Amino acid sequence: MSRTVYLNGEYVPEQEAMVSIFDRGFVMGDAVYEVTAVIDGKLWDFEGHVARLARSLDALEIQNPLDRETLLEIHHELIRRNPDFTDGGIYLQVSRGNAGDRDFVYPAADVAPTVVLYTQSKPGLLNDPKAKTGIKVISVPDLRWHRRDIKTVQLLYPSMAKMAAKKAKADDAWFVEDGKVTEGSSNNVYIVKDGKIITRELSHDILHGITRAAVLRMAKEAQMQVEERAFTIEEAQSADEAFFTSASAFVMPVVEVDGAKVGTGTPGKVATRLREIYLEESAKTAL
């Protein structure tokens, strides 16, 4: 069945959703995005995603076309209009719009941003078997630009990193810069050593994950120790546990880094507990 998607104020069948070839999102990657998890027809961590969307748009001086209430209404309307969709994510993209001929200079403020939202179904998302086995990662140099805190659609290098992982028969790639891990190709990363959760501090070097914020808050509430600092691949390999967080995988154990087993090579206690807590708490506040 064809999806109903949202494009610039209209709900249309996916085949009818057309964007101009002059759109700056298409020509220049001049666009930002968000992905909000949907479980049982409800939105997880919605407020965080709306707030980060505003920050990304602000950083790029793209006018924010929709307020929180309108965005929430569109998300809910998409869930209503796609009854087969109960679990997965809603993808949202705002580009600087169609400015006509290609020009590096931003167009005048009267060019309307292009707004697209659509559902992506992932049945059984909560019961991903990988959460039981853990995943394997390889490391690659972090060759991305230096404003990784802005969630832009410039995802070519993360795609290349994912392909490198796939070729190496791993599940994901961790980026390394100046000898330290920045983040995963599409997630924030953590190690656990002697009961302490260690994850890189927030800066322009990484995306400020919405799941990261929620998980760290919950870890502190559960009296777990958290240290925000960068770590090396060697530290990860000799850690007791490793894991990553993202809106599409929640809390995911990592059991191998560059061919070396982490801890026992099975999902660790802290990651498993944090996943349980995160799933439980997020379901309670879902919208």
Q: Please, which residues have CB within 8 angstroms of residue 272's CB and are 6 or more apart in sequence?
A: 253
Piece in contact with ligand PMP (CB under 6 A), picked from 22-30, 85-93, 130-138, 245-253: 245-253
Nearest distance, CB of residue 19 and ligand PMP, angstroms: 22
Laid out side by side, the sheet with 114-121 consists of 10-13, 4-7, 114-121, 88-95, 31-39, 42-43
Is 245 a binding residue for ligand PMP by CB under 6 A? The answer is yes
| Active-site position among 42, 136, 151, 162 | 151
Active-site annotation holds for 42: no
Piece in contact with ligand PMP (CB under 6 A), picked from 122-130, 220-228, 239-247, 273-281: 239-247
Q: Which is nearer to ligand PMP, 99 or 173 (CB)?
A: 173
CA atoms of 260 and 254, how far apart (whole Å): 11
CA atoms of 104 and 24, how far apart (whole Å): 10
Nearest distance, CB of residue 116 and ligand PMP, angstroms: 17
Query: What Cα–Cα distance (Å) separates residue 221 from each residue in 116, 188, 225, 251?
Result: 36, 20, 10, 17
Residues facing residue 93 across a β-bridge: 33, 116
Pairing label, strands 135-141, 88-95: unpaired
Nearest distance, CB of residue 160 and ligand PMP, angstroms: 13
Binding mask 200-229 for ligand PMP (x = CB under 6 A): -------x-xxxx-----------------
Nearest distance, CB of residue 250 and ligand PMP, angstroms: 9
The residue within the footprint of ligand PMP, chosen from 247, 251, 252, 277 (CB under 6 A), is: 247
Interior angle at CA 251, CA 250 and CA 257, nearest 5: 130
Nearest distance, CB of residue 249 and ligand PMP, angstroms: 9
Taking only Cα atoms into account, the Rg of the chain, rounded to an integer number of angstroms, comes to: 19
Question: How many positions of this chain bind ligand PMP (CB under 6 A)?
Answer: 12
Give catalytic residue positions.
Answer: 151
Which residues sit at the interface with ligand PMP, rule CB under 6 A? 183, 186-188, 207, 209-212, 245-247
